[in-house]
Amino acid sequence: MHVAIGWSLAGVLVLLTAVAAVVVGVGRLGSWRPVVTAALRAIGQLAAVSFIIVLVLRNGWLTAAFVLLMFAIATLTSARRGGGPWAGAAIFGGVAPILGLLLATRLVPMNPVAIIPIAGILIGGAMTATSLASRRALDELASRRGEYEAALALGLTNPDAARLIVRPTAGQALVPALDQTRTVGLVTLPGTFVGILLGGGTPLQAGATQLLVLIALLAIEGIAVLVTVELVAAEKLTART
């Protein structure tokens, strides 16, 4: 399936952006401006990537540089949500060992056209989990300050008191990944599955690849959340104003 590029596509995109902005604005769910800004950024970024990717896929070093760029942008995005550059440690801690395993076992071929999309999916999952976990953990520490100080009064160290407060709720950052894995094939057919089918792969190949991605995401996001909790406990991730 290929979307036809033309005035129809442009018109529908404008209409959908307007609908989203109006719903958010009229429904008082927030400002309509971030919706429009996000749509415009997506158009510009995807247009740029479409041109850049042609060059990147021809060179292994450019592929590595592009993956590092994705990691840097994910770190910046999560840092803005959660509290500083240490967010990159959680993302890297989740992605690096799992992506390394997939490449070492050749389950992901050492081929730019395979590495870039898989790395993007895994980095994106780690970014989302880190952002959700850090925000929830920092909110919990702020709203339950009395319990935190009570734990300190009982003799717990600062990190232990923080872990006691943030661990039970930080794990909720895994809910999207868990729900996606539980319902795959029943509610949605994720992009990896559909992409392989459209690329000429068999349903069995598509299913095996999608399964690998989903389970890898569970491992990566679990590690990212755990590292995030430890960073919050160590006061490396702090609330930003």
* pLDDT tens-digit map of 89-145: 999 999 999 999 999 999 888 888 888 889 999 999 999 999 888 888 888 888 888
What was the pLDDT predicted at 241? Answer: 37
What was the pLDDT predicted at 198? Answer: 67
* Type and span of the H or E element at 17: helix 7-26
* Distance separating alpha carbons of residues 241 and 239, to the nearest angstrom: 7
Of 150, 60, 148, which Cα lies nearest the Cα of 112? 60
Domain locations in the chain as residue ranges? 1-56, 59-233
- 238, pLDDT greater than 90: no
- Count, residues in the chain: 241
* pLDDT tens-digit map of 170-205: 888 888 888 888 888 777 667 777 777 667 778 888
What was the pLDDT predicted at 240? Answer: 53
Kindly report whether the global pTM for this prediction surpasses the value 0.85. Answer: no
Average pLDDT, the chain: 85
For every residue of 168-182, DSSP letters joined together read HHHGGGGHHHHHHHH
* Distance separating alpha carbons of residues 122 and 192, to the nearest angstrom: 12
